[in-house]
Amino acid sequence: MAALFLTGLSLLPDTAFGQEIPSLKDTFRNDFGIGTALNMAQIEEKDPQMTAFIVRQFNMATPENIMKSGLIHPKWDTYAFEPADKLVEFGKKHNIRINGHTLIWHSQLPPFVRGIQSRDSVRAFFTNHIKTVAGRYAGKVFSWDVVNEALNEDGTMRKTVFLQHLGEDYVTEAFRLTQQAAPNTELYYNDYNNEQPAKRAGCIALVKKIQAAGVRIDGVGIQGHWHVGRVPLKDIEESILQYAALGLKVMITELDIEVLPRNFQGAEVSRQMAANAESNPYPDGLPDAVQQQLAADYQALFRLFLKHKDKITRVTFWGVNDGLSWLNNWPVRGRTNYPLLFDRKNQPKPAFYKVVSLK
């Protein structure tokens, strides 16, 4: 995912119309974990009201950026562990389980990696990075997104620096190294659009290759960056079934539902759109018809998740509230987006009540 851009917020208490807001984590405590993505201000507890809100609503968390290699490993022989260490402490303090995100991703790499020309040097970075980072947080994070977004839309391997220099077995090797460095940590492959048939087939082939090599993979993350009125429920259900049939846990790892115009699907961070009036149609609020469609989509999704709660272990939203969503700044900067269950003041939207009404 792309970087998150903070905006000034005036948060209201964790109440709505004088009534305490239900807790998502408590509502689904017997079904699956409820997670969110955290930025550095939240990890450092800059806003006590925000901290209290996060702790009440969520029992799992994924760092949005600080564990990506460009931030945690900025130079060949330099690691910046302090932010991730603070995340671990945040989780320990508030009884929130941490999913590490992510060890190997072609995007947000340290600048020095782009200048590497030799296979041996890429392999040295790859090996040392995994062993150092996964090893440091062994027993401290619950799980790792070991490899992120290694597939093209047609299910073939994405052309990355790792594929170029290390070959198609680099994914298997990443899981092997992480297993060695963090033997008691759950290991996941994470991607977007991997509920779509072609990409799903590629993901299944990738998993089978890892398993055939005798290397452990515990689960697959379906990111869940979907679009209002077009959530592919049948494809999602079929993917849950097929991934679970491989003996894998299934996670919805970066859930949000886009309500603004977009001419492509997924979460390819390199893609951009031009900013204009048509690309930001709701700067002053979401029309009721769209709000109700968003609510219906979230309700249908969670109804499906509950149907397969024996296979799904976690549902993580990519951001705490609408104002903190990365979709305000991607693929167009400065838009006003509304993709989550809570508004910019942490107040529940109709979608929230539709979701909790299922229990």
Distance CA 246, CA 4 (A): 34
Q: Classify residue 228: in a domain, yes or no.
A: yes
Predicted confidence band of residue 115 (pLDDT cuts 50, 70, 90): confident
User: What mean pLDDT is predicted for residues 14-28?
Assistant: 78
Query: Domain span at residue 321?
Result: 28-265+276-356
CATH number, domain with residue 89 = 3.20.20.80
Total domains in the chain come to: 1
Q: Does residue 6 lie within any of the structural domains?
A: no
pLDDT at residue number 19: 58
**Residues labelled catalytic:** 149, 254
Query: Which tokens in the block code for residue 191?
Result: 């991607």
Return the SS3 of 45: coil
- Report the pLDDT averaged over residues 159-183: 97
23 within domain boundaries:
no
Give one DSSP letter per residue of 131-162, joined into a string. Answer: HHHHHHTTTTSSEEEEEE--B-TTSSBP--HH
Report if residue 333 sits inside a domain: yes
273 pLDDT tier (thresholds 50, 70, 90):
confident
pLDDT tens digits, residue range 236-246? 999 999 999 99
